[in-house]
Amino acid sequence: MAKPIKQYIPQGSDPTIEKFINCMMVGGKKSTARRIFWDAMEVIKTRTKDQPLEVFSKALLNVTPLIEVRPKRVGGSVYQVPVEVGPKRQQSLSVRWVLDAARARKGMPMAQRLAMELLDASTDQGAAFKKKQDVLRMAQANKAFAHLANR
């Protein structure tokens, strides 16, 4: 017998959660993406004492980049110029990095992979947090070209 379908999403949900679910969606299967997200929240609830949505927001906050490098062509050569990241791009990058890191993990269902990545990101670990650190390191290494940003 199939398990009963429970109502996953409260009405008037957080726009960040909806954005995350929409980015997770593959092939227009929103109900599947929504089920995966809320199953991941259940896994987080069993693994930690914290509220799952707090872990989710803390994970996204820890992965959010403040600065990134953009290529800028000056006089025939391309420089990696560090620039500040706008709020909308911060959110989209953090969501993308968490989802990419969760998809890269193998050997588990997607809900578990997502839960593990969110737990890791909330404690400043995992592949998504490493990606943020790498981008920050690149920006610091190319700090000498910051004067080219406003050209």
Specify the pLDDT at position 131.
96
Domain-by-domain residue ranges, the chain? Answer: 49-148
In percent, the amount of the chain with pLDDT more than 90 equals: 83
For residue 62, the cross-strand partners are none
Specify the pLDDT at position 12.
54
Is residue 7's pLDDT more than 70? no
Token readout for 22 is 């929409």
Q: How far is CA 33 from CA 36, 37, 41, 61, 119, in A?
A: 5, 6, 13, 21, 19
Look at domain 49-148 and name its CATH class. mainly alpha
Specify the pLDDT at position 4.
45
